[in-house]
């Protein structure tokens, strides 16, 4: 039975993750909508009363000398640009090359079916993928349902990933910049500010929301001064809040990568085939994990110039930015369920979970646990990677602005069967009403009646927060004293301080980016 459950867990995870690479197409009817941007007109499609536009360019192709530099505005075009086909994804490993392009800095836009004559609130989605994979050419997210159920315009934007997006090569390439993937997101938000009114949107009411590394990037915007004019609220879902680098760490990781590539010159890096550019990412994953523990390999770097500090430290500068943030109950079970005895006894494996902890701190965090064990690894990974960074962010910002937090506990029937709890990413198919598109067959990943009800409630919460700044009248605001948290489950409930005294144990924890 255990083997069956493990196989089903792997299968379920592959279904959820691999659905990201499959294209989705909106229904096309006559009288296609046309909108005017500052660069030219674009033609989209109609769907169920709404409008959608795919592959709207917000920046030039990042080839040659533009590969490792900030994004550049696209050239104007004459006539009407057809934006009815999904764009290619950014360069990465794991996809066929035909689905990737360095000309990928484009947006998808969904305008809901609405009779409102007022400008609509805007929700700007940042996909996750450990800063290394992902894209907006996805069937994973049902943005039509998201737009119609929230009553908001939904936007998603491609941004550079891995080597081109989050490797700091400033010491090697003259004119290169760090954080290019994050720079792309800010540039896309600037495009939204300048153009969304033409699509019926309100440029003064933009909520940035994301999951995993996408959530971390959403929070990172709080520490980017140039992004401040372009958004008003943040929704952070399962942010890997510890996955940032100090300049020294970023330089170290860049050196590891350069060594694996044979130390190419600046010219070679700017002209190298894109597929070759990402060919050593797998090796880098191993090297970084062995040195820094389980975290993302590619990370934003706190350079003190563009990303001026860790987002948890920028509360005083963001009194006008409201925040909704949360995580799933068992985030790390997806990553650590395979670490079973005798692997739990190996020091190098233990360091993946408790990276470079000193003896006194390690003794404190494992106190009362059956350590070392798979269960303890999952709990420790969930705390270090998600709960503690979330608590720190919420504690700090609740002193200066409105903060709402949640914990997602809901488990669809199949998730319950594999016995991993509400693990990382299980909330996404519910929130987005996700389908698995197999060509001739398209089926919901989770389609039970309760699944639909939980997803509908979440979309209502998210939409209310985006439109009005409050997800629900019965959702208590968070502060350091109550740590009020909405538990999202078959029925939702408010609890105070759901993690008890465990978070106080981490007060002596020093994040890697802060060393």
pLDDT tier, 13 (very low <50, low <70, confident <90, very high otherwise): low
Are 86 and 110 within 8 A, CB to CB?
Answer: no
Residue 301 CA to chain centroid, in angstroms? Answer: 16
Left, alpha or beta for 6 (phi > 0: left; psi -120 to 50: alpha)? Answer: alpha
pLDDT at 26 over 50: no
Of 329, 389, 383, 333, whose CA–CA distance to 354 is shortest? 383
Domain of residue 228 covers 2-245+301-514
Q: Which residues are catalytic?
A: 212
Give how far Cα 432 sits from Cα of 338, 441, 458, Å. 28, 19, 9
pLDDT at 23 over 50: no
Q: d(Cα 174, Cα 301) in Å, to the nearest integer?
A: 18
Left, alpha or beta for 304 (phi > 0: left; psi -120 to 50: alpha)? Answer: left
SS3 assignment, position 154:
strand
Over residues 462-470, the mean pLDDT reads 98
Which pLDDT score, from 0 to 100, does residue 341 have? 86
Which pLDDT score, from 0 to 100, does residue 441 have? 62
Which pLDDT score, from 0 to 100, does residue 7 have? 53
Which pLDDT score, from 0 to 100, does residue 172 have? 97
Which pLDDT score, from 0 to 100, does residue 16 have? 55
Give how many domains the chain has, as a whole number: 1
Task: Indicate which CATH number applies to the domain containing 38.
Answer: 3.40.50.1820
Find the largest Cα–Cα distance for the chain.
Answer: 68
Of 301, 257, 297, whose CA–CA distance to 279 is shortest? 257
Residue 252 maps to a domain: no
95-104: pLDDT as tens digits: 656 689 999 9
Which residue's entry shows tokens 């008890």?
Answer: 500
- Cross-strand pairs, 43: 34, 82
DSSP 13: H
- Cross-strand pairs, 53: 109
pLDDT at 185 over 60: yes
Residue 179 maps to a domain: yes
pLDDT tier, 56 (very low <50, low <70, confident <90, very high otherwise): very high
């Amino acid at each position: 039975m255990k083997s069956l459950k493990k196989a089903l867990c792997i299968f379920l995870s592959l279904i959820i993750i691999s659905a990201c690479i499959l294209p989705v197409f909106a229904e096309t009817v006559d009288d296609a909508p046309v909108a005017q941007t500052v660069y030219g007109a674009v033609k989209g499609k109609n769907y169920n009363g709404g409008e959608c536009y795919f592959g709207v360019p917000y920046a030039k192709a990042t080839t040659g000398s533009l590969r490792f530099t900030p994004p550049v505005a696209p050239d104007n075009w004459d006539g009407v640009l057809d934006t009815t086909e999904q764009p290619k994804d950014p360069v990465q490993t794991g996809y066929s090359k035909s689905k990737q392009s360095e000309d990928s800095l484009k947006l998808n836009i969904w305008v809901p079916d609405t009779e409102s004559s007022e400008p609509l609130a805007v929700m700007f989605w940042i996909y996750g993928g450990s800063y290394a994979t992902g894209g907006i050419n996805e069937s994973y997210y049902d943005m039509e349902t998201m737009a119609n159920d929230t009553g908001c315009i939904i936007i998603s934007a491609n941004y550079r990933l891995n080597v081109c997006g989050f490797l700091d090569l400033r010491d090697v390439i003259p004119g290169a910049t760090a954080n290019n993937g994050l720079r792309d997101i800010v540039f896309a938000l600037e495009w939204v500010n300048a153009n969304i009114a033409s699509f019926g949107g309100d440029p003064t009411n933009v909520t940035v929301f994301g999951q995993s590394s996408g959530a971390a990037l959403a929070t990172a915007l709080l520490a980017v001064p140039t992004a401040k004019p372009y958004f008003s609220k943040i929704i952070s879902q399962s942010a890997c809040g510890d996955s940032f680098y100090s300049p020294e760490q970023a330089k170290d990781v860049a050196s590891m990568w350069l060594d694996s590539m044979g130390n190419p010159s600046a010219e070679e890096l700017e002209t190298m085939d894109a597929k070759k550019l990402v060919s050593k990412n797998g090796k880098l994953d191993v090297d970084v994990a062995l040195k820094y523990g389980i975290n993302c390999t590619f990370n934003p770097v706190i350079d003190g110039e563009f990303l001026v500090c860790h987002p948890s430290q920028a509360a005083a500068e963001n009194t006008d930015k409201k925040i909704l943030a949360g995580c799933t109950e068992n985030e790390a079970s997806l990553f650590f369920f395979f670490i079973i005895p005798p692997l739990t006894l190996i020091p190098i494996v233990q360091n993946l979970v408790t990276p470079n902890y000193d003896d006194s701190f390690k003794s404190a965090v494992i106190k009362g646990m059956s350590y070392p064990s798979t269960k303890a690894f999952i709990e420790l990974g969930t705390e270090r990677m998600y709960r503690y960074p979330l608590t720190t962010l919420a504690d700090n910002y609740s002193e200066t602005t409105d903060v709402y937090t949640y914990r997602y506990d809901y488990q669809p029937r199949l998730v319950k069967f594999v016995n991993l709890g509400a693990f990382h990413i299980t909330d996404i198919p519910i929130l987005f009403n996700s389908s698995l598109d197999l060509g001739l067959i398209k089926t919901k990943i989770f389609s039970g009646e309760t699944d639909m009800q939980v997803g509908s409630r979440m979309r209502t919460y998210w939409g209310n927060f985006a439109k009005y700044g409050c997800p629900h009248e019965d959702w208590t605001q968070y502060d350091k004293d109550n740590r009020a948290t909405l538990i999202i489950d078959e029925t939702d409930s408010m609890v105070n301080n759901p993690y008890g005294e465990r978070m106080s144990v981490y007060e002596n924890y020093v994040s890697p980016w802060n060393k």
